[in-house]
Structure 1
């Protein structure tokens, strides 16, 4: 086969999900052709399918730098937009897809990609325009109809969105379409029809937890009253499910349970979130707590750390940030999510990792630590009396405690509608004082961005001083 035939075969294999044979062809072409637009484009698409987003971005940018007049650089631009979008670099992704559309405006997939990128940026009018153009090029495509309905609903054009989606929702088994249909029925005062739709889907499906998934979708979309209705339905089906009870407690603003969020809820949340967690946090949510904690330690004159415990270590962002700036002799991490633990292990900085709930771990593990960290963890713990007492027992004399909270205005502890907890600074400072912890640093910070809004938090650094 000549180069052109090999390229066609490789792209055909990728279209069928056969990355192994496609990778072999890519290596052969790289050895034979070296720097070439088509080969670099193939390398970028291969990396994109394998989830190696930064490698995909680099290969596609290299391909575009090699493009000659007449070559389909619009395809490389579209794939570059996807690589950037999946990294949370949505403004750059928008620029790339705009260039692709300018080169080849008759490709409906480019307009659809524009719609998804605009959705991430919260630009609902742009999202509406993009999916409308995609539908002009491919009328009645369910994916594009759904995208347009979401864009209209985001702009509070509920009746128009429902009119667009109603016929499709009557026949489609697609759960994304059905979830949006439920949301629109609730938004257009069709409560009984929405609940009947959910019950019908549950009766016809063998998939467990569907009612909770529908409720989660509504909660994520900010439709809290509607979400509460579906969590109540989910509770009828699963009366002993602690996650459902927790979300209902948060939506109904009940008395705050002292135990905090159920382990099952936190574990499931992060197991399903693990693969996209870091990119989402760092780029889309602009999360920077680990780096700020390390900067705080350096400002306090910390030069090395003997034994560090990273509570709720997640994918290892905190551990990696510490080890990049400071010598750490022993670093241990604890997290509820097995998938998060695997990703933390891949960082290669932890000496020990354990899948466990934080409070039982602190009760059972009698080791003493030079530094204990808890970055963006206490949002799931609620009342912190037990946590402070256990942390104090696990710190060496003179040991350091660094953590963040989501800062609340209400006295003590607040349970939010999203299932997380806020803590008032006076509550934190009182517990610290009761446990022999001396404040070294306290400062407000922007924890992350959600729906474009800054979430206010506070970073603390304490030293344990024995009497």
Structure 2
């Protein structure tokens, strides 16, 4: 069985209780943090806003944008049919696509005002490719935002302590990991995105501990 298929099956089995585990039990903060960072830099309430949720899962990030803007066009892509099934129940997105985010995204160049991703980069060994695709589908001066675990997650047993299910999944796919800030910002600049904010926040809490994450947000350069 391929690693991609194993990852998809793991999330399919997790989908029905994902929201309860992360949002309520673990106080998952990444969607709200990413939304707030974007909202501080663009008008998220404008009627023609187009937003892409990359690795959308059950739509936790998209829900933040929908609450702020009932008229926005929101699209999402995710590999897991189970996660997308839960997302569809919420009637939040205008378009949902099942597919991998590590190849070419099935969207036109410059077709979104912003592309955002939370809870995904810890499962990706080569995030530069994903960042480049997020940049491609965003218009000039648009925003790209994403979260990634802080390098504290590289310490032995840290990931195991907080998310045993995620650890098993990460091991299947060459172990997802934290990514160094310098690497991530270099990947952004190489893709035509100028970083405008990088900061640490508490991604979620479990077993008496707090899991630190990094938030990255950048603006696509207008090179014309």
TM range (shorter): 0.7 to 0.9
Counting only pairs closer than 5 Å after superposition, residues 339-354 of structure 1 correspond to structure 2 as 339-354=82-97
Kindly tell me: are residues 361 and 451 of structure 1, through their superposed partners in 2, closer, same or farther at Cα, counting changes over 3 Å?
farther
Measure the CA separation in 2 of the matches of 1:333 and 1:372. 10
RMSD: 2.1
Match of 1:436 among 192, 206, 210: 192
Match of 1:426 among 172, 176, 182: 182
Counting only pairs closer than 5 Å after superposition, residues 214-293 of structure 1 correspond to structure 2 as 241-242=1-2, 262-293=3-34
Query: Given the two structures, how large is their TM-score scaled by the length of structure 1?
Result: 0.41
Query: Given the two structures, how large is their TM-score scaled by the length of structure 2?
Result: 0.83
Counting only pairs closer than 5 Å after superposition, residues 165-180 of structure 1 correspond to structure 2 as none
What is the CA distance between 1:410 and its match in structure 2?
A: 9.6
SS at match of 2:122: helix
SS at match of 2:217: strand
Counting only pairs closer than 5 Å after superposition, residues 285-364 of structure 1 correspond to structure 2 as 285-303=26-44, 304=46, 306-362=49-105, 364=106
Q: What is residue 445 of structure 1 aligned with on the other side?
A: 201
SS at match of 1:359: coil
SS at match of 1:458: strand
331-340 or 289-298: bigger deviation: 289-298
1:106-151 per-position Cα deviation (integer Å, ceiling 9, x unaligned): xxxxxxxxxxxxxxxxxxxxxxxxxxxxxxxxxxxxxxxxxxxxxx
Kindly tell me: are residues 433 and 424 of structure 1, through their superposed partners in 2, closer, same or farther at Cα, counting changes over 3 Å?
same
Match of 2:108 among 350, 359, 366: 366
Measure the CA separation in 1 of the matches of 2:91 and 2:43. 23
Measure the CA separation in 2 of the matches of 1:432 and 1:350. 26
Q: What is residue 210 of structure 2 aligned with on the other side?
A: 454
What is the CA distance between 1:409 and its match in structure 2?
A: 5.7
Q: What is residue 164 of structure 2 aligned with on the other side?
A: none
What is the CA distance between 1:319 and its match in structure 2?
A: 1.0
SS at match of 2:10: helix
1:245-273 per-position Cα deviation (integer Å, ceiling 9, x unaligned): xxxxxxxxxxxxxxxxx322321111111
Structure 2: which 5+ residue stretches go unaligned? Answer: 161-166, 171-175
SS at match of 2:178: strand
Verify the 8 A CA contact 1:397 1:465 in the aligned structure 2. Answer: yes
Q: What is residue 221 of structure 2 aligned with on the other side?
A: 465
SS at match of 2:126: coil
Kindly tell me: are residues 308 and 328 of structure 1, through their superposed partners in 2, closer, same or farther at Cα, counting changes over 3 Å?
farther
More strand by share: 2
What is the CA distance between 1:280 and its match in structure 2?
A: 0.5
Verify the 8 A CA contact 1:308 1:328 in the aligned structure 2. Answer: no
What is the CA distance between 1:466 and its match in structure 2?
A: 2.7
Measure the CA separation in 2 of the matches of 1:369 and 1:301. 13
Q: What is residue 130 of structure 2 aligned with on the other side?
A: 387
Verify the 8 A CA contact 1:374 1:403 in the aligned structure 2. Answer: yes
Measure the CA separation in 2 of the matches of 1:400 and 1:433. 13
Verify the 8 A CA contact 2:132 2:188 in the aligned structure 1. Answer: no
What is the CA distance between 1:404 and its match in structure 2?
A: 0.2
Measure the CA separation in 2 of the matches of 1:299 and 1:395. 18
Q: Which is higher, the Rg of structure 1 or of structure 2? A: 1
SS at match of 1:358: coil
Measure the CA separation in 2 of the matches of 1:328 and 1:460. 26
What is the CA distance between 1:277 and its match in structure 2?
A: 0.6
1:288-321 per-position Cα deviation (integer Å, ceiling 9, x unaligned): 1111122122222424362111111111111111
What is the CA distance between 1:440 and its match in structure 2?
A: 2.1
The size of the alignment, in residue pairs, is 203
More helix by share: 1
Measure the CA separation in 1 of the matches of 2:153 and 2:57. 28
